[in-house]
Structure 1
Amino acid sequence: MKSHDPLIRAKKFQIEDARRRLGQIDTMIADFERMAGDLDRDIAAEEERSGQSDPRHFAYPPLALAARTRRDNLRRSAEDLKVQQEEARAALAAAEAELARVEAAGEMERAVRLEGPARRSAPRHIDTARF
């Protein structure tokens, strides 16, 4: 199995890297959604304070308008990250499957190596009746 050890280590590193990347994306999505929720509350408070809830109205508060734009940008970014999240999940699954394949190949190679000397040292049965 020595020949597969570096490959196995590399695959395990890929898996850890994919998990780390997925965790970072998950955190960013949660942060963006939290910030968008905070902005929703700020918008509602500003609209209530001004008595104007129509963003097209000339008296709509500029602070609420800016917060709406920022919130919408955060939501778009979160949606974009969800696509990356799915790609990262697929990459993680592929790396795990590849590791399992490499480990299985290493086990098979080890079994063949252990079985090889046993076959060579086992006495062969010679059919003497034919002679």
Structure 2
Amino acid sequence: MKSRDTLIRLKRFHVDEKRRRVSQIETMIAEFQRMASDLDREIAAEQQRAGIHDVSHFAYPTYARAAGARRDNLLRSAEDMKGQLAEAQDELAEAFEELKKVELLDERDQAREKVAEKTRDQASMDEIGLQAHNRRAS
């Protein structure tokens, strides 16, 4: 049973690690998207100040052009992270399944032990009863 307990702890640790990884990736995606939104606002403000909204215009603000490139990179990175997120979620589901299998085996073994213990207890009680009956009959 000790080895099974150790295995269950190990599987739970794996599930926790996978869960943390999923959470980290989700946080990174959200942060990239937030930063891209901030850049969108800054670009709009810069365009408003310059009065030029056409990116191909020769006098388009340099800061707005650089911020747009940075925003596009952030959005691309967020999209790439979504693929990693899907992988991490699959790994988490797999680790969770493995944990459940081991936990179900443990529960089944414990149930079997309880039945065996009850059977031993009943046999012991039957023996005590027979001995008492035999003493009275003698």
TM-score, normalised to structure 2, is: 0.79
Distance 1:27 1:3 in 2: 36
Specify the alignment match of 1:79 in structure 2: 79
Specify the alignment match of 1:128 in structure 2: none
Displacement of 1:116 in angstroms is 4.5
Distance 1:96 1:21 in 2: 14
Q: How does 1:1-131 map to 2 (within 5 A)?
A: 1-116=1-116, 118=119, 122=123
Displacement of 1:26 in angstroms is 1.3
Amino acid at match of 2:96: E
Distance 1:103 1:17 in 2: 18
Q: Deviations over 1:53-97 (max 9, x none)?
A: 121221111100000000000001111111111111111111111
Higher relative contact order (CA 8 A, sep 6+): 1
Larger radius of gyration: 2
Structure 1: gaps (5+ residues): 124-131
Higher normalized helix content (fraction of residues): 2
Which one is further off, 59-68 or 107-116? 107-116
Q: Calculate the aligned-residue CA RMSD, in Å.
A: 1.8
Work out the number of aligned pairs and report it.
122
Amino acid at match of 2:59: A
Q: Deviations over 1:12-69 (max 9, x none)?
A: 0011111111111111111111110010011011111111112122111110000000
Distance 1:104 1:29 in 2: 35
Distance 1:28 1:114 in 2: 48
Amino acid at match of 1:53: H
Distance 2:16 2:96 in 1: 10
Distance 2:2 2:104 in 1: 13
Displacement of 1:113 in angstroms is 3.8
Distance 2:95 2:73 in 1: 33
1:54 aligned counterpart, secondary structure: coil
Indicate the percent of aligned positions where both proteins have the same amino acid. 54
